[in-house]
Amino acid sequence: MRRGIGVGHIVQKKQHKDNMADLGAMMTAERIARLADQLDDLKLRLKDLTLTHLHEIESDAIVRAKFRQLADSLGVDFSDLLREAAEEHRLRGNNKGNTNNPNSNNNNSGDAAQSLFAKILSIVDGSNADNEQQEVLRLGCEAIQACILERRYVGAFVPLTSIVGHVRRKYKTNHIPFHYHPQRKDKSGSSNSKGKSIATTTTPTTPPVATSASSSAEQNNYALIDEGVVQEALRLVTDVLGTSSGYACMEMEGVVYVQALAGASTGSATDALTLMTTARKLRGQSAAAVDVAADASRSNNAPFTAVRRLGGGTMTASAASLINRTAAATMSLPEATDRGSSSPPSTTDSIAAYCTKDQLHAELPHWPMHRLDAALGGLLLDGSVWIDNDATTTTSRYWFLDHLAGLLVSA
């Protein structure tokens, strides 16, 4: 006579538990799918609502703030939402041929002179600033658009020099006038919030060439768009957007960067920029070691086998071996065959184009590991760093986006 629970009861109980677990997983998946559909429907409704009330969003700061909160709660980029709504509004106006709305800007020259951000934020025409300050505000809006374009290539910290070049090319290509006179600002004694005049950073005007007066004045106007003017323009725009919107200028080791990342605190942005500068320093050490090894190889008449490295150029196989022995942290492309040679390289030594956490921590010994992990995590989230987990060595390799951009340019 059986007195306890049998094996069949145990098996049946385990099967019942597994069935309940499967049922719970299926219900969770259905609930997640239903919530995803509802979220997509809410995003479409928000887009239609933005298109309907586009004029109120452009003119009223309170309405604009409410729509920004709605977009943030749904995980929608507010700038992209307004850009799509403005583009669809423009297309509908062109299709209907409706020119009765005085709020719609159908003037091509006005659209060229005033960027999308300036129209959305209403910080140019609706401001009480003088004409020259309005020019600087328009310049700041163009600089923000340049940050958005350059961010996909270099990450969340865009060098100010590239933004200046992008804005200057856009002004020159579209023939947008820039009427800003720093000499008159010097006489009036106007300065920014830090007490530093914009005109102190402008470059001196070059002597006029033998061209027409209008062409010479146009060249001088474009020459006034320099780093100092762009910094002041970004400061004026961020005063309207708020400090949490990003686009603040930060300097690290003599290089000025624009923080094209919203919502990041000053401390985390400084740590991320320090980490990117450290990785760039590692690459500079590797490039210097490559040059030294190449000179030593040429002086010793060593056999030449080309290997491509970061930043273009070639190095010898013996140079690669020397770098692996002398450089503590190397950043360059893996070994590749020279375009001019038909045979593959004779050496298996290669120089990594990535850097590891140990290499970064060796350059920043005063940083605790949790601070390094937080900085790397922030760079991973905003797309400035890519991670590659090596299954053979269980070591994470970090590829910095600005380094990869250099690889694509030099390839």
pTM for the full predicted model? 0.45
pLDDT above 80 (res 136): no
pLDDT of residue 410: 45
Question: Mean pLDDT: which of 39-43, 103-107, 118-122 is highest?
Answer: 39-43
pLDDT of residue 297: 60
Distance CA 203, CA 181 (A): 12
Instruction: Give, in order, the Cα–Cα distances in Å from 238 to each of 78, 137, 150, 241.
Output: 16, 10, 18, 5
pLDDT above 70 (res 355): yes
Task: Work out the average pLDDT over 9-15.
Answer: 86
Contact 237, 260 (CB under 8 A): no
Give me the amino acid identity at 137: L
Contact 247, 238 (CB under 8 A): yes
Structure tokens at 259: 């923080």
Structure tokens at 376: 């790397």
In sign, the C-alpha dihedral spanning 41, 42, 43, 47 is positive
pLDDT above 80 (res 19): yes
pLDDT of residue 86: 82
**371 or 266, which is more confident?**
371
**pLDDT tens-place string over residues 283-336:** 766 556 556 666 666 666 554 443 333 333 333 333 333 333 333 333 333 333
Per-residue confidence band for 262, with pLDDT thresholds at 50, 70 and 90: low
Phi, psi of 228 (to 5 degrees): -65, -45
Please return the burial class of 21, using the count of CB atoms within 10 Å of its CB with bins 0-12, 13-18 and 19+: exposed
pLDDT of residue 353: 60
pLDDT of residue 249: 81
**pLDDT tens-place string over residues 300-313:** 655 444 333 333 33
Sequence-ordered alpha helix ranges (H) in 75-130: 78-96, 108-113, 116-121
Residue 153: left (phi > 0), alpha (psi -120 to 50), or beta? alpha
